[in-house]
Amino acid sequence: MKILLSNVSKKYETSAHDYLGLFYLAGALEEAGFEPLVFHGKPEHLLEQVKKNQPDAVGFSCDFDNVQIIEDLSKKIKAIDNIPIVVGGPQSIGLGQKFLEDSQTDFILRGEGEVSLPLLLKAVLKEEGDLSAINGLAMIKDGIFRETPPEIISDLDALPLPAYHASLHIDHAYGKLIFTGRGCPYQCAYCAPSPGKHKVRLRSMPLVLEEIRLNLKNNPDLNYIIIMDDTFTLNRERIEAFCQGMKEIRKDRDLVWYCECHVGRIKDWMDILPTMIEAGLIRLQIGIESGDQKVVNQYNKHVQIDDIIEFVTYAADCGLTQIATNFIVGGPEEEEGATATLIKTLINQAPGVIDIITGFLRAYPGTPIFENPEKFNLQLHDQSGRLSGDDYPFVTPLGYSQDQVMKNRQELNKVIRQSMQHKIKNHELKQNAVMKQFKAALNYGIRSRWFEEISANPRAYEYYYVLYLNEGQAFEPALDFTRDYPQRTFELWRTMTFTEGFPKLDGMALSPLEYELLLRCAGKRSLAELETELFLRFGGPYQNQAEFHEKLVDILYQFNFKYWLTHFMI
């Protein structure tokens, strides 16, 4: 029997992701004797697959963004063929009788479905088993809404590995996502409380490493993996075991990885970071959410802002490529300027490394913020979540309009960008940090905000790209005029203008000496040769060649500061 599992969205390009959960379900269905098919993409394409494959049942993964889409699709599928439809996923805890009635969906399945979904389909399609005995099942029976406690799987090692071969996307390569455990011991007030969330269960590390090796074998282009665990860094010994395995894997394959980290947990043994970096850690996510310690405490984060600053500083000094974090906008009212101040501090402590984004607060079903917003001095404008998107706030502090919250986010993003551009413009980034951002983006497809901001500055991008390709070097404080060969980082014909009757570059009018010097910086002659030639032409106003030399050095450093020049030595 064919079972079509799907994740659909109009908002995101779902074909670019792995959807690991669907493939774990597919593995469990296959082990139970079903033929799973996995689809991720646009809603209209799913209907095509339903008509083409004629499945015996359809399962949807429902999240905060695609509830309405699933409602519409469910009714359309029922019109094609009256087959059973099951909805699970993180948003399933917020779905109830009204959703079943509106969508014509048959079942809601909450919790971890690798055990309960095969049991449900056997009962429905093969008449084997009792529906009332299936954990996590919500349905309408005899006009009454009935539900059972969700399924929580204790032994994760007993699960089959993801069945990527069940994908309907034959050109898609998988294996980027992996989990080493499920659950999180923390109970942050804004975090979606999926069933089993607070019960930590861990997979054996040999099995995790075996899965990674299998994914590498099946995907020759795989060079970056994302560890999906909410709190990968709970246990030092386990991290060390993972890193030891990754070091062995990396002997044969250039493979880097990402994980999330709780600073409140790892702060007592931060010295594990160099080991993680050596084992391929390239990007580390930490939770901050606010620059106001009072608000951090309201979120139940179990972390001190001073510890975050210390950790970020240490991680950057250790050579970590990217430290990712997020600040929530629209949460409990903060001390004015607290978050902006912390953002500036973090950028100063880890320039070129700390990767900051912002997002609106979401009120997920089952969270303390959703259940009791008044406790946080918040107001909800869309409790159903059906109107909510990341581009518009539907949670605001009491007394604040949604327009005010949008403005606050705009101002916070302005602080982030201006702080970053200031560092870029004033050459306050360490070259090694920038080179790591280029390597992360160009080798592994991991584009940080630093890479995006450098790319938004054409001169800086061209300059650092030359350095990245090793086609030039950054200017040193002491120039060697006999060995240094200066070269432009751009093509003159694309950038120089003469519309005002004189040469102008990036809004700067060039003197005849500056223009002639720039023309000669083609990487073909040494600075000494250029100085001799230019002194004969422009040396008249200067007392001697030594004074002219000082002027030339000053111009060269101005050019370098504007990212116009690199050099190489012979």
Q: What is the pLDDT of residues 146-164, one digit of tens each?
A: 999 998 999 999 999 999 9
Q: Is the pLDDT of residue 15 over 70?
A: no
Question: Rounded to an integer, what distance in angstroms lies between the CA atom of residue 448 and that of residue 528?
Answer: 40
How many C-alpha atoms does 566 have within 13 Å on its Cβ side?
A: 20
Q: Can you tell me the distance from the alpha carbon of 44 to that of 312, in angstroms, rounded to the nearest whole number?
A: 44
Does CATH place domain 2-147 in 3.40.50.280? yes
Instruction: Give the Cα separation of 201 and 209 in Å (integer).
Output: 17
Phi/psi for 396 (5° steps) reads -140, 155
What does the pLDDT read at residue 28?
97
Confidence at 4, pLDDT banded by 50, 70, 90: very high
Q: Is 77 helix (H, G, I), strand (E, B) or coil?
A: helix
Q: Band the pLDDT of 317: cuts 50, 70, 90.
A: very high
Residues 6+ apart with CB under 8 A from 91: 62, 63, 64, 67, 365, 385
What is the DSSP pairing of strand 565-569 with strand 2-8?
A: unpaired
**175-427 has which CATH code?**
3.80.30.20
CA dist 60 → 27, 107, 426, 471 (Å):
16, 10, 50, 51
Whether the pLDDT of residue 293 is over 90: the answer is yes
Mean pLDDT across 46-56: 95
177-202 pLDDT per residue, tens: 999 999 888 889 998 777 666 789 99
3-state SS track over 208-233: HHHHHHHHHHHCCCCCEEEECCCCHH
| pLDDT 10s digits, 521-540 | 999 999 999 999 999 999 99
Q: Map out the domains of the chain as residue ranges.
A: 2-147, 175-427, 484-569
Reply yes or no on whether the pLDDT at 115 is more than 90: yes
| CA 293 to centroid of chain Cα atoms | 25
What is the rounded average pLDDT of the residues 544-553?
Answer: 96
- pTM score, whole prediction: 0.92
Confidence (pLDDT) at 387: 62
Determine the Cα–Cα distance for residues 303 and 311; give it in Å rounded to an integer.
11
**Whole-number mean pLDDT of the chain?**
93
CA 563 to chain centre: 29
Instruction: Look at residue 485 and tell me whether its pLDDT is greater than 60.
Output: yes
* pLDDT of 548 strictly over 90: yes
